[in-house]
Amino acid sequence: MENKNENLIDYLLILGDNSLILGHRLSELCGHGPSLETDIALTNISLDLFGQVRSYFQYAAELTGGETTEDIIAMKRVDREYRHTWLVEQSNKDYAYVIGRQFLFDAFHLPLLEQLVNSKDEMIAAVAAKSIKESRYHLRFSSSWMERLGDGTQESQQRMQTAINDLYPFTYEFFEETETEKLMFETGIGADLKAIEPIYRQTVKDVFAKANLEIPTTPARKTDGKKGIHSEQLGYILAELQFMQRAYPNMTW
Amino acid sequence: MVAADLRTLPVPVQEALLEITDPEIPVLSIMDMGVVREVSLDKQHVHIKLTPTYSGCPAMDMMAVDITRALEKRGYTATIKLVLAPAWTTDWITPSGRAALEAYGIAAPLDAQSDKFALIDGKRIVKCTQCGSTNTKMVSQFGSTACKALFQCEDCLEPFDYFKCLK
């Protein structure tokens, strides 16, 4: 093993990359939200997620040592080195997709953080304790919009259901434990994904019922984002996310 | 959990810390905000522990730069460390900080329970900073910065920010 912290670093990437890529997707909406309030809300959420990523990556950089910095981790990796799930890289097709993707992530993120506050790793526990307060707001926001759109007009209901039908099959990936996640859970550092899944499905059930939406029965999409295998979406994301660092290496503000 | 105690520090250090404000809420000093958790002195070098309000708050970097500059102006150097635990809560805003917020037009955070009533159940309890009426409604859970929500008064019709309770 190159670095004795290899597994921990890997785990930090699995945790951080979901927030990084979703944060990036939301940042694309800056100035393009459907209304001023939602524009501000979505970019606020993006900012919270980026803040959380910074904490994870600063820690990962410290563990990696050498010249590594949070920016290098965020912007200098190649596609196969990103460890987020496929759900978060899906594009902002319309507002229903944005809200659906957000809700399906928030409903996972909150119980995940609720476990991580008890992590044996002090730094992860501290980041989780900080993020959990923000994540509660995010889930509140996305759940209320799920209800508003799902229980709104015929048009909004249909669009919300279409988005959910497309996105829901990606949610199974959250709970497919990688070797790293298994090891981290066993050593008291990581979360128990098996315990989170029933909480997740229950939140989905409750919110969908209020939102007049049906839970899709389509089977799980077989995706391996946490192992670095991504959809074609990631190429477009990285082209924009990494542009400045690739064009002007090591630039700073 | 109280903020750092400045009283034992040399006057110039105290002055420097008291003059720095949140760049997004210029009436609120970092001391009133409760983000300065620890200050210690090693000859002319000041060690400061800062805690962020929200993880991604862009004002934090700015505050760190401002503190360093204010201290350098007075002949001190500084090391600033960001600490995450224990996480910041709006309870750490001092009474004078709350008064400054209100005077500036930002409604100060309510207690956690009332905050929930206001933000989730739409109860009309947040006091308008313009006319004092509680006949106000939430326009957006997220306001001009991560820490605020947007409200509007139904009596004087003025919009205003509400500093969300964070616990």
Domains of chain A: 6-215+228-247 (1.20.1260.10)
Mutate one of A133, A139, A140 to test the B interface: name it (highest B CB count within 10 A): A133
User: Cα distance from A221 to chain B (closest Cα, Å)?
Assistant: 32
Assembly ipTM: 0.81
User: Would you tell me how many other CB atoms lie within 10 Å of the CB of residue A154?
Assistant: 7
CA dist A7 and A30 (Å) reads 35
Residues of B in contact with A49 (CB under 8 A): 56
pLDDT one-digit tens code per residue, A140-155: 999 999 999 999 999 9
**A175 in reach of chain B (CB within 8 A):** no
Please report which confidence band the pLDDT of residue B2 belongs to, taking 50, 70 and 90 as the band edges: low
B120:A140 CB<8 A: yes
B58:A47 CB<8 A: yes
User: Cα distance from B45 to chain A (closest Cα, Å)?
Assistant: 24
User: Cα distance from A219 to chain B (closest Cα, Å)?
Assistant: 34
pLDDT score of B4: 81
Kindly state the DSSP code that residue B81 receives in the 8-state scheme: E
| Least CB–CB distance from B56: residue in A51, A126, A129 | A51
pLDDT one-digit tens code per residue, A81-134: 999 999 999 999 999 999 999 999 999 999 999 999 999 999 999 999 999 989
Q: Which two tokens stand for residue B152?
A: 């509007």
CA dist A123 and A62 (Å) reads 12
pLDDT one-digit tens code per residue, A176-232: 999 999 999 999 999 999 999 999 999 999 999 999 999 999 999 989 999 999 999
Q: Which of A15-29, A194-208, B55-69 comes out lowest in average pLDDT?
A: B55-69
User: Cα distance from A26 to chain B (closest Cα, Å)?
Assistant: 14
pLDDT one-digit tens code per residue, A62-88: 999 999 999 999 999 999 999 999 999
Q: Which two tokens stand for residue B166?
A: 């964070």
pLDDT score of A1: 47
Residue A241 makes CB contacts below 8 A (sequence gap 6+) with A24, A74, A75
Cα Dmax for chain A:
57
3-state secondary structure string across chain A: CCCCCHHHHHHHHHHHHHHHHHHHHHHCCCCCCCCHHHHHHHHHHHHHHHHHHHHHHHHHHHHHCCCCCHHHHHHCCCHHHCCCCHHHHCCCCCHHHHHHHHHHHHHHHHHHHHHHCCCCCHHHHHHHHHHHHHHHHHHHHHHHHHHHHHCCCHHHHHHHHHHHHHHHHHHHHHHCCCHHHHHHHHCCCCCCHHHHHHHHHHHHHHHHHHCCCCCCCCCCCCCCHHHCCCCCHHHHHHHHHCHHHHHCCCCCC
A49:B56 CB<8 A: yes
CA dist B44 and B46 (Å) reads 7
CA dist B16 and B68 (Å) reads 9
CA dist A69 and A246 (Å) reads 15
B-contacting residues in A 29-68 (Cβ below 8 Å): 37-38, 40-41, 44-45, 47-52, 54-55
Residue A75 makes CB contacts below 8 A (sequence gap 6+) with A241, A242, A244, A245, A246
pLDDT one-digit tens code per residue, B12-28: 999 999 999 998 889 99
Residue B11 has pLDDT above 60, yes or no: yes
Average pLDDT over residues B126-151: 92
A47:B87 CB<8 A: no
Average pLDDT over residues B114-141: 92
A133:B140 CB<8 A: no
A134:B55 CB<8 A: yes
Please report which confidence band the pLDDT of residue A2 belongs to, taking 50, 70 and 90 as the band edges: low
Domains of chain B: 11-91 (3.30.300.130), 105-163 (2.20.25)
B58:A41 CB<8 A: no
pLDDT score of A141: 93
Average pLDDT over residues B78-106: 94
Q: Which helix (H) or strand (E) holds B79?
A: strand B77-82
A51:B54 CB<8 A: yes
User: Cα distance from B31 to chain A (closest Cα, Å)?
Assistant: 20
Task: Evaluate whether A148 touches A166 at the Cβ level (below 8 Å).
Answer: no
Residue B5 has pLDDT above 90, yes or no: no
